[in-house]
Amino acid sequence: MTTALLSVSDKTGIVDLARELHQLGISIISTGGTAAALAEAGVPVTKVSDVTGFPEIMDGRVKTLHPKIHGGLLGLLDNPDHVRQMDEHGIRSIDLAVVNLYPFEQTLARQGASHEELIENIDIGGPAMVRASAKNYKHTCIVVNPKHYATVVEHLTSGSIPVAFREQLAFEAFAHTARYDAMVSHYLGSRIPDRGFDAESSLPLKLESPLRYGENPHQQAALYGSFGSVFTQLHGKELSYNNILDIDGAAKLSLEFDEPTVCIIKHNNPCGVGSGSTLLEAWDKAFATDTVSPFGGIVCVNREVDLAFADQIHSIFTEVIIAPSYTAEALERLQKKRDRRLIRMDTAALQRELGMDVRTVAGGFLVQTSDTPLLDAEALKVATDREPSDAEHRAMMFAWKVAKHVKSNAIVYAMADRTLGIGAGQMSRVDSARIAVSKAKDAGLDLAGCAVASDAFFPFADGLLQAAEAGATCVIQPGGSVRDDEVIAAANEKGLAMIFTGMRHFRH
């Protein structure tokens, strides 16, 4: 190895690497800011413009796109024709390329960055050099991540860089440019109104952290993306795969409520939700729905956690507590349990991330827009002879907000400020209704005068009649069944008020 090309935006460790390469007798070619940093550090460096015989032009937009650079990166040194052509055209082999790209991601994350600034931070020459080197990894070793600098030096000091390691670096290089291009594509796509679903798409994902295991201990798992920009862990053991799913579900449920609200989640299903003038009042209502399931569950609130609330829940074993903030006294109290995870959520960041849902299936992905709307005001209508009272309407809205986040088939009994019974994830809607009633009875809660919400329409009148028998006086459901007339007739006969939303909230 005789020649290295160093061209980096992230200059972490680059001077130390260059010094090591120089001591190993490797000549260094560099560009713009990297060349200036090396020269300032006293490392001998040759500018790319001196290699190409052509100056950097157009504010640096064009500097490395030249045969004397790409020929050096792409030449097959075991191919006599390539070597002959390199000699004929004065092309010097480049044996090591250390390249990372313009800071498009950092610019995109910065508040107030203009479109023009973002465009100027789209790297062209960098990805071209990375891809060229990665294609020719047997002859040109490509490094895009500073974490590999020390290993590269170790290999060079001992003699050469193994082909297997070169291939690993080439894989990382193509993944690096693929993610970079995906970020640019997503940004430009975000500026196109009503563009629908793209004919070609990629996900610009970066490993955030490996996880101990997945849903079960025999499954490997990792977290990709920017979860940490929305949720910050303040205390406790590392988050598990299931914790992360529950945190996401609980936080999204909390967004439905403006008043102080406590959401208790177990196995990614609400098991109790309450609202009140304070979190303490809201907690009493949420916990009363189901006094068993909250143990080992997830608690999410939409107000700052103070010492009074911390004292209330401290004695209960909870896996995770999520809140927009905590007082110092509350943190001190809650941190007394070593394993309890305490999470601070950035509500504004969470709302910004409600864009697309992506799920894997065999051979592909299912993509859909997030289920963010609660109601379609134009489709909302009273389907029965009797109009709901104001109190009933408030109860129906509360039940509907919770039902939106319960696994289908979902049935929720509620008053205007609390859940009373929740039936989730059953194959039959009647079974979900039966479970919801049973849980309310087990909790000693009276369903008389409550509202019931169903995430999808009642296909038969039996589910609605069951709700009436349990004590519900009003029903909210999407409507749309071929037997709607039968269900409406049954509701009228029982004196129920019923609203059709025209919008369902299945959660498979």
pLDDT for the residue numbered 145 = 95
Tokens, residue 367: 């993509």
- Partners of 152 in beta bridges: none
Domain with CATH 3.40.140.20 in the chain: 210-352, 381-500
CATH topology of domain 210-352: Cytidine Deaminase; domain 2 (3.40.140)
pLDDT in tens, 248-258: 999 999 999 99
CATH topology of domain 3-190: Rossmann fold (3.40.50)
Distance CA 164, CA 151 (A): 13
- The closest alpha carbon to 414, from 463, 451, 448, 466, belongs to 451
Those residues with Cβ within 8 angstroms of residue 87's Cβ, 6 or more apart along the chain or in another chain: none
Query: Is the separation of the CB atoms in 483 and 463 below 8 Å?
Result: no
Q: Are strands 96-99 and 141-143 parallel, antiparallel or unpaired?
A: parallel
CATH 3.40.140.20 fits 381-500, yes or no: yes
pLDDT in tens, 373-392: 999 888 899 999 999 999 99
Give me the count of residues in the chain. 508
Determine whether 267 is an active site residue: yes
pLDDT for the residue numbered 378 = 85
Query: Is the separation of the CB atoms in 102 and 9 below 8 Å?
Result: yes
pLDDT in tens, 429-443: 888 988 999 999 999
- The closest alpha carbon to 75, from 12, 174, 157, 3, belongs to 3
Coil, strand, or helix at residue 153? helix
Lowest mean pLDDT among 194-198, 268-272, 386-390: 194-198
Q: Does pTM top 0.75 for this prediction?
A: yes
The single residue of 155, 235, 267, 314 carrying the catalytic annotation is 267
pLDDT for the residue numbered 386 = 95
Determine whether 135 is an active site residue: yes
Domain with CATH 3.40.50.1380 in the chain: 3-190
Coil, strand, or helix at residue 207? strand
The single residue of 135, 186, 314, 337 carrying the catalytic annotation is 135
**Unique residue bearing structure tokens 């190409």:** 52
